Amino acid sequence: MIYPWQQSQWQQIEQLISADRLPHALFLHGNQGLGKADFAVALANALLCKQPSADHQACGHCQSCQLLAANTHPDMYYLKPVPAENTKSKKPALNIRIDDIRVLCGKLNQTSQYGGYRVAVLEQADQLTPSAANSLLKTLEEPGKDVLIILTSARAHRLPVTIRSRCQQLRFTVPDEAQSLQWLKQNLDGSDASEKQLLQSLNHAFGSPLAALNNLQEAEQQQVLAEAMTAGITGKNSLAYAAKLAQYTKMQILEGMLSWASDLTRMIACGAESTIINEQYRSNLQALAKKVNQQRLFRFYDQLNFNVLHSSIAVNEQLLWENLLLSWDNL
C-alpha cells in the first residue's frame, strides 16, 4: 500500500528502478504510524511481481502476486520483533533475534526460487539484538545479486550506525493537515465524526493519519458496544447492534464485553462506588447491578471465556453477538 503522503518517496523509488540503480539495502525511517512497513511490502511486491504496472507497482493478480497475497512467496522474507522465548514476563521485550537473522541471511545467499529478486523486509529494525545486528551486517556488506533488504524504523538513532551507513535512506514525514483530513474522511466511511474530532484525533496521534484512523475506529467501536450493552436499560433493541459488531475485530469486542461483565461483578461484590473500567457508564451499570442474577452472570462469563479460548475458530459473528447480547439482556 502506497499512501497519498508517500508519493514523493515512491517517485524516488521509481526513478531508481527505471535507472536500474536500486540499492541492495534501504532504510525507511520517520515517525511511527506513517505506514513505512506497508510501503516496504508494496515495494517488495512490486519487485517480485511478474507484470508490474507502468508506474512499477505490483499487478496484484499474476502468480507471484497471488503467492505474495498468501504469504507463501519463496523469495519474500518478512521479519518483525517477537517476544523473547522462555520468558515468564507478561510484557516481554520484543526483539529480532540472531537465529532468525541467520536463517534469513542463509536464504538470501541462495539463488532466487522464482528467478528474480529476493527481498527481505525487517520491520522495526531498531529492535534487532546487538548480535542479530552484527550478523546482518555481514550480509549488508556482501549482499548477493538481486537482493534487496528493506529496514524500517521510527527510532532511527537506535539502529547501529554501521547498519545505517550501509543502507540508502528514505525519510518519511508527517503529511500536512489537509491531506490527512481528506484521507481520514475517505477511510471513515459511514462515520459521523466531525472535522473537529478528526483534527483532535490527528493531534493526539502527533499527525499520523494511520494512528488517528485507528483511534477513531476504536472509539466508534467502544461507543457501539456501549450502546449495545446498555440497550436493555435504555429501551432499545440490543440485537439491532449485532450486525454492526460483526464488522469489528472479534477479540476486541469479546474483551470489551469482558470489561462490562467484570465491572458488573465488581459493583455487585464491592458496592456501587467500586473502581470500574467503563466509568462513563457507571449509572447504567448501577441499574444493571440491581437486577442481575449472579448465576446467570457467571454463565455469561463462561460463555465469553469459551469464545475467547476458541476465538480462532471461524463462526457466524452476527449470530455470536446476538447470542451474547441476549444472555446479557437476560442477566
Which residues here bind Zn ion, judged by CB under 5 A? Answer: 49, 58-59, 62, 65
Nearest to 264 by CA among 223, 239, 238, 298: 298
Q: Which three cell numbers stand for residue 233?
A: 436499560
CB closer to Zn ion out of 69 and 315 = 69
Give the nearest distance from C-beta 70 to Zn ion in angstroms. 13
Give the nearest distance from C-beta 85 to Zn ion in angstroms. 36
In whole angstroms, what separates CA 48 from the centre of its chain?
24
CB closer to Zn ion out of 69 and 103 = 69
Gap between the Cα atoms of 158 and 170, Å rounded: 16
Question: Three-class SS of residue 303?
Answer: helix
Nearest to 259 by CA among 234, 287, 229, 288: 229
CB closer to Zn ion out of 61 and 171 = 61
CB closer to Zn ion out of 61 and 236 = 61
CB closer to Zn ion out of 56 and 266 = 56
Asked whether 288 and 264 are in contact (CB, 8 A), the reply is: yes
Give the nearest distance from C-beta 46 to Zn ion in angstroms. 9
Instruction: Using alpha carbons, list the distances in angstroms from residue 298 to 146, 169, 265, 278, 327.
Output: 59, 56, 9, 19, 11
Give the nearest distance from C-beta 61 to Zn ion in angstroms. 6
Give the nearest distance from C-beta 212 to Zn ion in angstroms. 31
Instruction: Using alpha carbons, list the distances in angstroms from residue 266 to 32, 157, 225, 227, 282.
Output: 37, 46, 20, 21, 12
Give the nearest distance from C-beta 52 to Zn ion in angstroms. 7
CB closer to Zn ion out of 116 and 160 = 116
- Cβ-based neighbour number of residue 123 at 10 Å: 20
Nearest to 226 by CA among 300, 283, 274, 145: 283
DSSP class of residue 330 equals: T
Number of H helices, E strands in the chain: 15, 7
CB closer to Zn ion out of 62 and 193 = 62
Give the nearest distance from C-beta 237 to Zn ion in angstroms. 47
Q: Where are the strands (E) in 54-136, listed by range?
A: 76-79, 82-83, 94-95, 118-122
Give the nearest distance from C-beta 62 to Zn ion in angstroms. 3
